[in-house]
């Protein structure tokens, strides 16, 4: 790491990185920004074990002193690490209070055929999910629940949106990801791999508790989660083997997308572990 700082937001390196805040430039370059120590730490860790996806890291002098666990592995892996001024970091960051470290990373997504090729037992499918915070939280939840992959339909938000990357809290770098895949093609691929496809919908005919009790979650499962405002359209519901609702035992009108996804994914994870024990 050079001892001198990049102090101009007009530096060609900085300008090129800043442009990745816009989807058109991300799509053209197939690169995105990961901001904050958690995201950058996980990106560098993935790079170190062979994925080679981090192109460069920008870090303030103060953040470099705090986060040697990021800077040192990055330098050992041959990643360019640039010291930058606070002004430059503010220009690069997409948050009000930057945490002093940003990485430029290659896109992570793979073709659906590659994502579905492994021994899949639990997959999260986001159909028409538009809010980047929700999408990132579902990716994080899927990772925590031990899911094998996440698929985002063509109508869903860009997972490389800065808010989505931050909401995933580094989990974006842990899971195989397919992007822009039609829902019907995703369901066909899941069926071909022997997964039961369950659509999560508040108006589903099947109660989640009943699905658990009847052993429906014991086997390989793909959960389909819909739009925050209007859920799943009839044509998507029709593709699923079952449409499942999370029971509301209290007086709440409904659960938000990320909470419902957490309940469903953890229900499957627990059922699969218990089934394997039996």
| Per-residue confidence band for 50, with pLDDT thresholds at 50, 70 and 90 | confident
Q: How does pLDDT run across 222-251, given as a tens digit for each residue?
A: 999 999 888 899 999 999 999 999 999 999
Query: How many domains, in total, are found in the chain?
Result: 2
Judge if 122 and 136 occupy the same domain.
yes
The pTM of this model reads 0.94
Judge if 79 and 155 occupy the same domain.
no
Of 63, 86, 106, the position where a domain reaches its end is: 106
H or E stretch covering 227: none
Of 55, 89, 106, the position where a domain reaches its end is: 106
Average pLDDT, the chain: 94
Q: How does pLDDT run across 65-77, given as a tens digit for each residue?
A: 999 999 999 999 9
Give residue 277's pLDDT.
56
Mean of pLDDT values over 121-144: 97
Asked whether the CA dihedral 110, 113, 119, 123 is positive or negative, the reply is positive
| Per-residue confidence band for 196, with pLDDT thresholds at 50, 70 and 90 | very high
Of 106, 131, 162, the position where a domain reaches its end is: 106
Mean of pLDDT values over 119-141: 95
Whether residue 177 has pLDDT greater than 60: yes
Q: Which residues contact 253 (CB under 8 A, 6 or more apart)?
A: none
Give residue 88's pLDDT.
97
| Per-residue confidence band for 113, with pLDDT thresholds at 50, 70 and 90 | very high
Read off the CATH number of the domain in which 177 is found: 3.40.1280.10
């Amino acid at each position: 790491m050079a001892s001198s700082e990049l102090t101009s937001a007009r530096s060609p390196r900085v300008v090129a990185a800043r442009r990745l805040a816009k989807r058109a430039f991300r799509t053209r370059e197939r690169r995105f920004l990961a901001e904050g120590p958690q995201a950058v730490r996980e990106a560098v860790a993935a790079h170190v074990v062979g994925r080679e996806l981090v192109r460069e890291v920008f870090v303030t002098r103060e953040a470099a002193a705090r986060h040697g666990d990021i800077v040192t592995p990055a330098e050992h892996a041959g990643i360019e690490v640039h010291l930058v001024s606070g002004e430059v970091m503010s220009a690069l960051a997409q948050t009000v209070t930057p945490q002093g470290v940003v990485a430029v990373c290659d896109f992570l997504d793979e073709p659906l055929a590659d994502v579905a090729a492994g021994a899949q037992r639990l997959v999260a499918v986001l159909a028409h999910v538009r809010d980047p915070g929700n999408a990132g939280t579902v990716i994080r939840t899927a990772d925590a629940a031990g899911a094998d992959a996440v698929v985002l339909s063509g109508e869903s938000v860009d997972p490389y949106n800065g808010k989505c990357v931050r909401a995933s809290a580094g989990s974006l770098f842990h899971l195989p990801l397919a992007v822009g895949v039609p829902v019907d093609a995703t369901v066909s691929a899941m069926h071909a791999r022997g997964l039961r496809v369950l659509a999560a919908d508040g108006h589903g005919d099947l109660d989640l508790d009943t699905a658990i009790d009847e052993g429906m979650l014991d086997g390989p499962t793909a959960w389909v989660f819909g739009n925050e405002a209007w859920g799943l359209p009839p044509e998507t519901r029709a593709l699923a083997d079952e449409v499942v609702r999370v029971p509301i035992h209290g007086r709440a009108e409904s659960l938000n997308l990320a909470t419902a996804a957490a309940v469903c994914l953890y229900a499957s994870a627990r059922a699969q572990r218990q089934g394997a024990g039996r």
